[in-house]
Chain A
Amino acid sequence: MPRPNLAPPDAAPLREALRGIRFLLRRGGATVADTLTLDALPDPAAGLAKRMIREVEGLARSVDEAASAAAKGVLGGHDNPAEKLDEIVGHSSAAAEFGRAIYTALDAVLRRIGVDDAFISEMSARAVFAAWRQDHPHGQPQDWAADLTLRLLAARVIRGAVPAGSGSIGRVEPVAVFAVLLWLQSDRSESENEAVLEAAADIALARATEIAATIGSGDQGRIAALYRKYVDHV
Chain B
Amino acid sequence: MSKVRLTPDGLPPTNEPLRVAVRRLRWFKAAFLKHAEEMGAELGSRFEVDDTKLAAAFTRWLDAIELQRPADKSQRRAFFEFAAALMMRELTVDMPLKAVGEPSRAQTGSAAAFWPEGYCCTLFCLSVHAAATAQEFHADTTIDPAIDDLRHWWSFKENTIRDASFSAGFLQMLLGSQPNWVMPDVFRAKPRG
Contacts and interface: CB of A to CB of B under 8 A. Distances in A.
Interface of A: 192, 195-196, 198-199, 202-203, 205-207, 230, 232-234
Which range contains the number of B residues in contact with the other chain? 10 to 19
- Nearest 6 CB-CB pairings of A with B: A202-B55, A206-B55, A206-B56, A199-B25, A199-B26, A195-B26
B131 interface: no
A145 B56 CA distance: 23
B54 interface: yes
A199 B33 CA distance: 13
B56 A233 contact: no
A206 B24 contact: no
Contacts of B150: none
6 contacts: A196-B26, A199-B24, A202-B54, A206-B53, A207-B56, A207-B59
B76 to A, nearest CB: 19
A82 to B, nearest CB: 14
Given A207-B59, A233-B62, A202 B24 contact: no
A195 B32 CA distance: 14
Interface in B29-63: 29-30, 51-56, 58-59, 62
Given A203-B55, A207-B59, 10 more contacts: A196-B26, A199-B25, A199-B55, A202-B29, A205-B55, A206-B55, A206-B56, A207-B56, A233-B24, A234-B24
Contacts, number: 43
B189 to A, nearest CB: 26
A191 B59 CA distance: 24
B152 interface: no
Contacts of B26: 192, 195-196, 198-199, 234
Contacts of B62: 233
Contacts of A203: 25, 55, 58-59
Nearest to B16: A187
Given A232-B24, A234-B25, A195 B59 contact: no
Contacts of A205: 52, 55
A195 B55 contact: no
Nearest to A187: B24
Contacts of B29: 195, 199, 202
Contacts of A202: 25, 29, 51-52, 54-55
A230 to B, nearest CB: 8
B77 interface: no
A230 B62 CA distance: 9
Nearest to A234: B25
A126 to B, nearest CB: 28
| Chain B CB within 10 Å, residue with most, of A196, A230, A233 | A233
